[in-house]
A and B are shown apart, each in its own frame.
Chain A
């Protein structure tokens, strides 16, 4: 099925097209959500919601970009919305992570078993970086996460964010300056 056929099928609310979309793009959507949220339950919930939204709004897809670009855009925006709407909730979640094994630690598949000190240190480093990324302005956060975690090239990020290539370069530069400003004093 070509992408054009898939989109036609989605607009026509065709069940086969709908299943193909989920099969082809669920890893993309889930991984973007996970990159932003760092929590598998939330990423899974949000992935479901995003596909439902895509199903309901397929007719709004203008076809001027790839389907994957559209999905990267929706997934990034919905992830940030989720974070914005759940700020209070995150507080309790973070509080509980002191007592319960952290989500990130549980999901790590390591070839060699880590002792608890190593595991703690890795979680701590991951938390420091995630906190620093969380403090970035949203556009810088999207650019940094898509580039560093999703491994998207700047050209594709420009399409996802609907900005020019120099704008992405500028966002990435400012993101790195801000991350240095946040992390350096903590690590001195």
Chain B
């Protein structure tokens, strides 16, 4: 059997703990094939990890939270604490976004300074303003997205 067949068996969830000829063949192959071994680890532990945040007991506060959300959806009053929590939750990514934008501006500036050197033969006169415009456009979009997200939530 080739690697493709073993990878299919891994995705089918072949149980290595079962005493079958298929399981034995796969186990032997995994001992000698590093790429199938890596594939098996990603699939098996990936699936296990993806299922690990599942719940098995009820959240006793869920019904009340749903009631609050439902009743407030018309008035919009009770959604404020939730909004604060959301802002706190998104603070790290927003800080990251701001840092990325600043980094973009700084890098853009560095590139423009470099490309706008008069002794660079290949750079035409118009290149620098075009690049600058692209940079501005990208930054406008980013801040508009952040603003939209904040106002929409």
Contacts and interface: CB of A to CB of B under 8 A. Distances in A.
Chain A interface main SS type: helix
Interface magnitude class on chain B: 35 or more
B100 A125 contact: no
A184 B70 CA distance: 46
Given A96-B96, A109-B52, A187 B45 contact: no
Given A176-B8, A184-B39, A22 B50 contact: no
B38 interface: yes
Given A19-B63, A26-B62, A47-B62, A126 B50 contact: yes
Interface magnitude class on chain A: 35 or more
B59 interface: yes
B42 interface: yes
A66 interface: no
The 8 A-B residue pairs with the shortest CB-CB distance, nearest first, are: A129-B46, A126-B49, A92-B93, A107-B53, A96-B93, A187-B38, A176-B11, A31-B54
Interface of A: 19, 22-23, 26-27, 30-31, 34-35, 38, 40-41, 43-44, 47-49, 51-52, 55, 88-89, 92-93, 95-96, 99-100, 103-104, 107-109, 122-123, 125-126, 128-130, 148-149, 176, 179-180, 183-184, 187-188
Given A180-B11, A183-B42, 13 more contacts: A22-B66, A34-B54, A35-B51, A35-B54, A38-B50, A52-B66, A52-B70, A107-B53, A125-B42, A125-B46, A126-B49, A129-B47, A149-B51
